[in-house]
Amino acid sequence: MKINKDHQIINSLRISSHSKYNFLIENNNDCHELYDFIRLKRLPYIVIGEGTNIVAPEYFNGIVIQISLNNINNDKHLNVGASANWNELVEYTIKKNIYGFENLSLIPGSVGAAPVQNIGAYGVEISSLIKSVECFDLSNNSFITINGSDCNFKYRHSCFKDNPDLLILSVNFFNNLKKEFNLNYDSITSYINENNIDFNNLEHNEVAEIINTIRSSKLPDPNNIPNVGSFFKNPIIDNSRLSEFNNFISWPVTDNSSKLSAGQLIGSIKHLLPSYENVDLYEHHSLVMITNSKASYEEVLDFKNSISKTIFNNYSIHLDVEPTIIT
């Protein structure tokens, strides 16, 4: 059965959420059937992977599309189906000595969603690993391959964010067999120095283990504490304003602009925020909004608005939300 009615939308904030329809894609032919179904029903639609980066409404009067293609083909390049789990792919690349994925270890979610916001962590973005992305275009009922260089990848952004008609069916990754690691990120170098680890003799799995240890000390596991990771993007400001933020961490972006730590900014105003019954900030990382599994969509958005407003009133900075808010 490809189409289910009144379907539960699984999401890592654990908001109770349903959609009118759920459409499962298992092969190319299903894509054409979906195209016809959408035209027949004339309802909004959205593709969802594992739901770790969405804010889901109580009821979505539309079609939730889910993809069930989890192949991993390792030939000249690595072709991976959209529903494969991202961290399982990272583990696979480590076993096969394919380099470049290790810094993105333990990021929750599916392979299909990963290019959408150009997932990144510890100095690496997925854009550097992608050769091309195989899609179905719901605007014209056709299949299309988009080269990595044409995906408009930026910090937490890609062409897929702008175009919800593009369903990602699989991703082609470079098959880099040359042993090289990216260990320049501050928290990685600090960890290596503090633990007297020899930079030059690190093995592939040891790099992933270092990343996993650093991540686990900062981010809550969504299986235990509902969350979507970072709730806001780090804001980018003009360097002419940098002197206002002397006490804050910043990273250069271009010659004229820098990125500020949204977590640090939010941490500095959290005592000004109203308290809510079912949502809060994670005690070890103010960029992460957590729930107690009982929060409603409205409560999450209300808390988000309080944070944005307080940041704007105090710093004249507009914070952009990272997860997709389904309306």
Which of these, 308, 316, 313, lies nearest to 237 by C-alpha position? 316
Regarding 64 and contact with ligand FAD (CB under 6 A), the answer is no
Question: How is residue 19 written in tokens?
Answer: 């959609």
Q: Is 124 helix (H, G, I), strand (E, B) or coil?
A: strand
Contact window for ligand FAD (CB under 6 A) among 35-43, 93-101, 107-115, 194-202: 107-115
How long is the chain? 327
CA distances from residue 174 to 21, 74, 78, 126, 207 in whole angstroms, order as listed? 36, 10, 6, 11, 19
Regarding 47 and contact with ligand FAD (CB under 6 A), the answer is yes
Which of these, 271, 283, 279, lies nearest to 310 by C-alpha position? 271
Contact window for ligand FAD (CB under 6 A) among 41-49, 87-95, 190-198, 201-209: 41-49
- Work out which of 15, 64, 116, 138 binds ligand FAD, going by CB under 6 A: 116
Regarding 291 and contact with ligand FAD (CB under 6 A), the answer is no
Please check whether residue 238 is in contact with residue 254, taking contact to mean a CB–CB distance below 8 angstroms.
Answer: no
Residues catalogued as catalytic: 156, 230, 322
The residue assigned the tokens 């890592």 is 12
The residues with which 268 forms a beta bridge, in sequence order, are none
Among residues 134 and 260, whose Cβ is nearest to ligand FAD? 134
- Work out which of 34, 84, 121, 307 binds ligand FAD, going by CB under 6 A: 121
- Work out which of 82, 146, 211, 262 binds ligand FAD, going by CB under 6 A: 82
Question: How is residue 280 written in tokens?
Answer: 């809060």
Question: How is residue 59 written in tokens?
Answer: 């009821």
Among residues 313 and 327, whose Cβ is nearest to ligand FAD? 327
Compute how many residues bind ligand FAD; rule: CB under 6 A: 33
Regarding 120 and contact with ligand FAD (CB under 6 A), the answer is yes
Question: How is residue 88 written in tokens?
Answer: 């399982």
Longest dimension (CA), the chain: 63
Contact window for ligand FAD (CB under 6 A) among 48-56, 93-101, 178-186, 259-267: 48-56
Contact window for ligand FAD (CB under 6 A) among 73-81, 197-205, 227-235, 293-301: 227-235
Which of these, 121, 115, 117, lies nearest to 172 by C-alpha position? 115
245-284 positions binding ligand FAD, by CB under 6 A: none
Question: How is residue 63 written in tokens?
Answer: 């079609």
- Work out which of 67, 78, 84, 124 binds ligand FAD, going by CB under 6 A: 67
Q: Smallest distance, Å, CB 299 to ligand FAD?
A: 18
What gap in Å lies between CA 162 and CA 312, rounded to an integer?
25
What gap in Å lies between CA 11 and CA 14, rounded to an integer?
5
Q: Smallest distance, Å, CB 31 to ligand FAD?
A: 12
Regarding 219 and contact with ligand FAD (CB under 6 A), the answer is yes
Contacts with ligand FAD, residue ranges (CB under 6 A): 12, 46-54, 67, 82, 107-110, 112-114, 116-117, 119-121, 160, 167-168, 219, 222, 227-229, 324
